[in-house]
Amino acid sequence: MLTSTNPRTGVSAATALEPTTAEGVDAAARRAAAAAAELQHRGREFRATLLEAMAASVENSRGRLVAIADAETGLGAVRLNGEVSRSAFQFQLFAEAVREGGYLEAMIDSAAETPLGPAPDVRRMLVSIGAVAVFGSSNFPFAFSVLGGDTASAVAAGSSVVIKAHGSHLLTSQLSLEVLQEAAHAVNAPDGTFSAVFGQEAGLALVVHPAIKAASFTGSLVAAESLQRAINTRPDPIPFFGELSSINPVIVTEGAARARGTAIASGLFASFTGSAGQLCTKPGIAFIPDSASGQALVESLKELTGEARPQVLLNDRIRSSFDSISGRLVEAGAVEIASGSGLPPHDQDAPDENPFQGFTVAPALLETAAASLTEELAEECFGPLIVIARYSTLDEVREAFGRIPRSLTATLHAEDDDEAIIAQLMPALEASAGRIVFNSYPTGVRVTWAQHHGGPWPSTNSQHTSVGVTAVRRFLRPLAWQNAPQSALPEELRDHYSAIPRRIDGALVLPQPVVQQVGG
């Protein structure tokens, strides 16, 4: 029997859920494989309709979803309502992308005489890779879990999904699965389009199941390594898309610190403490000039941090990691210059008023010198903590970028007349991250076409994104047809189909408007 824990109190309660057995995993994977074949066959319009039904179903259950997730994550109704909106929006956005059809990368090369001799007709597009295993993350109970972007992009690709529910929001996962199954039922999707498995053993069994053709994951490096090791034992390798670890450096130029140091301090504070700092894109290091303006910025941050309320983390593992990693950072030479622990002392006679009950920690501000920044000082600490790295020269910053791990994001606060500085820093920023943010903050990932939520190792292990429309590419494979009769081709590759962008004989052709027949 599995339990659900309230992180605000640390109290666990029994649930009706059981760890999925090996037989249960096998059945889910087999049904998913059959569903994937059927989903591919039903075509794009069906999948767009399914995605719209998923969006509607999420909205229909908003209140219940938020309530159950709040009890399991402590993230609060405002943040969780936002996340439900994001989940619904994602399903809708992928529905639009499926209808638009550009993601198919449809190409037609007509038979031709070429410099290499006569050449056959070759047509290509992307098709579903098959059934996908999705591992929900702890920190986004909706947008990176059962109802998340991996599920959305897999369905868009034509894949079925078997979700490994995250242990720290099991009831939310179960309700989310029911929400998906309602949508599937509403549009008569194949059985096995959505299912879920519970428990770590089930997750490991899932990624080695022959019917599973890809896996996606958002979480820790350690958990990802365990899954990758399991996948490496398969006779047939499958792609494993992991979004893993990110320190997300921020650089503030002297000009920016002088012009808007207080605003940057507020923005940074909101960014590193939002959702209790439990975001993949949380800024973990900020390079601040070792100058009067820089000092003023740091003083503002100290003040904000010192006055901050304690924050509830998602589970006991994250809480204890926060304690041990913040300890290691201090051992490695960082100095704690502010902490949101300046609270009334704990009253032994009134334990309910203990502000540190449950999985609660105090936001923390640490400081070091950029010139002495090491890989140890750049260890990701999930939770409300940031390390300020004071610098005297840009070279110190660039050299430090060479020593710290690479990230999902890198952020630069600079003024209009900092052009030369920007030019100097760009190569380091481009090499170190998947998204470069100017004059704002890395948290808050826009769900859109051009988004890239990925980056060099260890931020991800692939050349793909897990947020935004191009996330669909992870679950697709190319298929080519040579000299095929029209009837054997998918409709998107037939001669007279023109509703999607296609590359014909090397030239990209936009969809043609449908001309209405007049008369009849």
Within residues 87-146, the interface with a copy of itself by CB under 8 A covers 89, 96, 100, 102, 105, 107-109, 114-116, 119-120, 122-124, 127, 129
Total residues in contact with a copy of itself, by rule CB under 8 A = 78
**Both tokens assigned to 122:** 């070759």
Judged by CB under 8 A, does residue 239 bind a copy of itself? yes
Pattern 490-509, a copy of itself, x by CB under 8 A: -----------x-x-xx-x-
> 505 near 109, Cβ under 8 Å?
yes
List the interface residues with a copy of itself, window 23-52 (CB under 8 A): 37, 41
Give yes or no for residue 316 binding a copy of itself (CB under 8 A): no
Q: Minimal distance in Å, beta carbon 44 to a copy of itself?
A: 16
305 part of the interface to a copy of itself, by CB under 8 A: no
φ/ψ of residue 47, rounded to 5: -65, -35
Calpha distance 432→455 (Å, rounded) = 8
Q: Considering only residues 407-426, where is the footprint of a copy of itself by CB under 8 A? A: 416, 419, 422-423, 426
Q: Which of 403, 422, 406, 424 is nearest to 414 (CA)?
A: 422
507 membership: H or E segment, kind and range: strand 507-509
Beta strands in 372-432 (DSSP E): 385-391, 407-413
Are 4 and 170 contacting, i.e. CB atoms less than 8 angstroms apart?
Answer: yes
Catalytic residues: 243, 280
* Cα–Cα distance for residue pair 41/130, rounded to 1 Å: 12
Which of 355, 264, 350 is closest to 308 using CA atoms? 355
Q: Give least dist CB 337 to a copy of itself, A.
A: 29
Helix (H, G, I), strand (E, B) or coil at 450: coil
Q: CA-CA distance, 213 to 4, in Å (whole number)?
A: 31
Q: Quick one: which segment of 294-302, 328-336, 353-361, 457-465 binds a copy of itself (CB under 8 A)? A: 457-465
Question: Which one of 80, 162, 329, 476 is in contact with a copy of itself (CB under 8 A)?
Answer: 476
Give whichever of 5 and 145 is closer to a copy of itself, judged by the CB atom.
145
Relative to beta strand 407-413, strand 433-438 is parallel
Contact 284, 322 (CB under 8 A): no
**Both structure tokens of 252:** 């503030």
Name the minimum Å distance from CB 57 to a copy of itself: 17
81 binds a copy of itself (CB under 8 A): no
Tokens representing 260 are: 């808007």
Nearest distance from C-beta of residue 40 to a copy of itself, angstroms: 8
Asked if residue 12 binds a copy of itself (CB under 8 A), the reply is no
Q: Is 348 exposed, middle or buried (0-12, 13-18, 19+ CB in 10 A)?
A: exposed
Q: Which of 196, 461, 472, 492 binds a copy of itself (CB under 8 A)?
A: 461
Taking CB under 8 A as the criterion, the residue among 307, 395, 430, 495 binding a copy of itself is 430
Residue 402 in the binding site for a copy of itself (CB under 8 A): no
Those residues with Cβ within 8 angstroms of residue 419's Cβ, 6 or more apart along the chain or in another chain: none
Q: Is residue 398 involved in binding a copy of itself (CB under 8 A)?
A: no
* Residue placing its CB nearer to a copy of itself in the complex, 66 or 107: 107
- Per CB under 8 A, the list member of 446, 491, 495, 512 interacting with a copy of itself is 446
Q: Per CB under 8 A, which region of 269-277, 305-313, 322-330, 479-487 contacts a copy of itself?
A: 479-487
SS3 at position 366: strand
Q: Considering only residues 252 through 291, tell me which ones interact with a copy of itself, judged by CB under 8 A.
A: none
Q: Does 236 help bind a copy of itself (rule: CB under 8 A)?
A: yes
Candidates 250-258, 317-325, 343-351, 446-454: pick the segment binding a copy of itself (CB under 8 A). 446-454
Q: How is residue 372 written in tokens?
A: 């002495």
> Is the previous residue joined to 458 through a cis bond, with omega within 30 degrees of 0?
yes
Task: Give the residue with the Cβ less far from a copy of itself, 39 or 338.
Answer: 39
